[in-house]
């Protein structure tokens, strides 16, 4: 008993054309003989799938099938040879999808296509300073690339001539050959898939339509860019092949490490050493900012190493906004070095006079340690 065409494709009666086509393509890709060499069962299944699709994709044939079933096409009525197999158009759809996927493309080329092809995209790595990222800057760069040939205006043909349609494939870029039940498609050897041939190639570009050249470009970098920011310059990539559109140029930004500041998003960090005297008695210090100015920071008495102070709106700008982040100042108390004997004696006397009550952190720490040692000796 012949299987129902709807069951063959795995769709419900009443399914729309798009659903039927999707089901057909999925199954045809699965059972295609090129994917199942020497598998007679797969080949037979492929024939059944193709026959079912040929009937159900056609509104008139489908209406006849829904009313009379397989009898509507008995003895060649209505379906003919195509109803018993698959037509050239349906096979072409599968062929283009199948082989296009294998070759990394989205499908075959259409008949009469142009030999022009889009140029490749290019990448350029650009390193800038943190100050440039803060203010924004215009950088002049040199990019080695290919540009459209001036002598032939990018056509690849010598002046006075032009590319001609390939006589072998009639501009399709591919040639189909029938081999029994199947049709084999291959790239046209005459034009290498371009669809056009050049009988008199340009002497400057040798028929390529483009030449190698170093280009100078100005790149505008907005304020607030971050590490890894990508800037796209449309049409500034490699020139197209034989008059095709140019590719794009992508600028990948990296930010040079700064000797004073560190950045995290829009927040800027700065480590500032202060003297033991300033940390003890308090005072006022000045710190640099990325904007090029100075900011005053009030240091309270008894400031310890690691204390942070926040300077509002002194950080990095948010890109394309008037909003600025904050700047964090982290204090390091500097211990005096290279003291004279008299200075050391003065400090020792001061230490004896101050005692433990003026050193709460160290007094508390060593009290905990003493307790730990006592527990270990018990």
Strands of the sheet with 230-233, listed across from one edge: 122-128, 249-255, 230-233
Q: Are 308 and 270 in contact (CB under 8 A)?
A: no
Measured in whole angstroms, the distance separating CA 377 from the mean position of its chain's CA atoms is 63
Query: How far is 5 from 57, CA to CA, in rounded Å?
Result: 11
Q: Are 55 and 73 in contact (CB under 8 A)?
A: yes
Contacting residues for 2 by C-beta, under 8 A, at least 6 apart:
70
Q: Are 131 and 290 in contact (CB under 8 A)?
A: yes
Question: What is the DSSP annotation of 201-252?
Answer: B-TTTTTSSEEEEEEEEEEEE-TT--TT-EEEETT-SSPPBTTPPP--EEEE
Strands 267-275 and 327-334: parallel
Does 4 show up as a binding residue in the annotation?
Answer: no
Does 270 show up as a binding residue in the annotation?
Answer: no
Residue 144, SS3 per DSSP: strand
Contacting residues for 42 by C-beta, under 8 A, at least 6 apart:
31, 33, 35, 36
Cα–Cα separations (whole angstroms), residue 377 to 365, 367, 368, 374: 19, 16, 15, 5
**What angle (nearest 5°) sits at the alpha carbon of residue 291, between those of residues 290 and 292?**
90
In the numeric block, which tokens belong to residue 323?
């909003």
Which residues fall in the annotated binding site? 149, 152, 166, 169, 188, 191, 202, 205
Which residues fall in the annotated binding site for Zn(2+)? 149, 152, 166, 169, 188, 191, 202, 205
């Amino acid at each position: 008993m012949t299987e129902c065409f709807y069951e063959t494709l795995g769709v419900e009666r009443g399914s729309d054309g798009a659903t039927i086509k999707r089901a057909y393509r999925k199954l045809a890709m699965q059972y295609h003989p090129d994917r199942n060499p020497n598998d007679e069962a797969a080949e037979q299944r492929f024939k059944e799938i193709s026959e079912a699709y040929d009937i159900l994709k056609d509104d008139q044939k489908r209406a006849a099938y829904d009313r009379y079933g397989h009898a509507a096409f008995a003895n060649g009525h209505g379906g003919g040879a195509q109803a018993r197999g698959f037509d050239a158009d349906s096979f072409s759809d599968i062929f283009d999808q199948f082989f296009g996927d294998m070759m990394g493309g989205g499908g075959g080329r259409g008949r009469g296509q142009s030999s022009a092809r889009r140029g490749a995209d290019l990448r350029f790595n650009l390193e800038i300073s943190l100050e440039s990222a803060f203010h924004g800057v215009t950088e002049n760069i040199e990019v080695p690339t290919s540009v459209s040939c001036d002598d032939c205006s990018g056509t690849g043909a010598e002046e006075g001539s032009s590319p001609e349609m390939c006589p072998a494939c009639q501009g399709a870029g591919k040639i189909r050959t029938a081999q029994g039940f199947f049709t084999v498609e291959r790239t046209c050897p005459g034009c290498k898939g371009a669809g056009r041939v050049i009988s008199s190639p340009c002497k400057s570009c040798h028929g390529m339509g483009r030449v190698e050249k170093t280009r100078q470009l100005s790149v505008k970098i907005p304020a607030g860019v971050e590490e890894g920011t990508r800037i796209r310059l449309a049409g500034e990539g490699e020139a197209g092949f034989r008059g095709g559109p140019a590719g794009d140029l992508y600028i990948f930004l990296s930010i040079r490490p700064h000797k004073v500041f560190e950045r995290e998003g829009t927040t800027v960090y700065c480590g500032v050493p202060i003297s033991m005297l300033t940390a003890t008695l308090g005072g006022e210090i000045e710190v640099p900012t990325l904007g090029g100015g100075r900011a005053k920071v009030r240091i309270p008495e008894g400031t310890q190493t690691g204390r942070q102070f926040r300077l509002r709106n002194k950080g990095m700008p948010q890109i394309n906004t008037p909003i600025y982040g904050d700047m964090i100042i982290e204090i390091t108390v500097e211990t005096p070095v290279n003291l004279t004997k008299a200075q050391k004696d003065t400090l020792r006397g001061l230490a004896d006079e101050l005692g433990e009550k003026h050193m709460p952190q160290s007094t508390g720490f060593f009290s905990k340690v003493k307790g730990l040692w006592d527990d270990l000796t018990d």
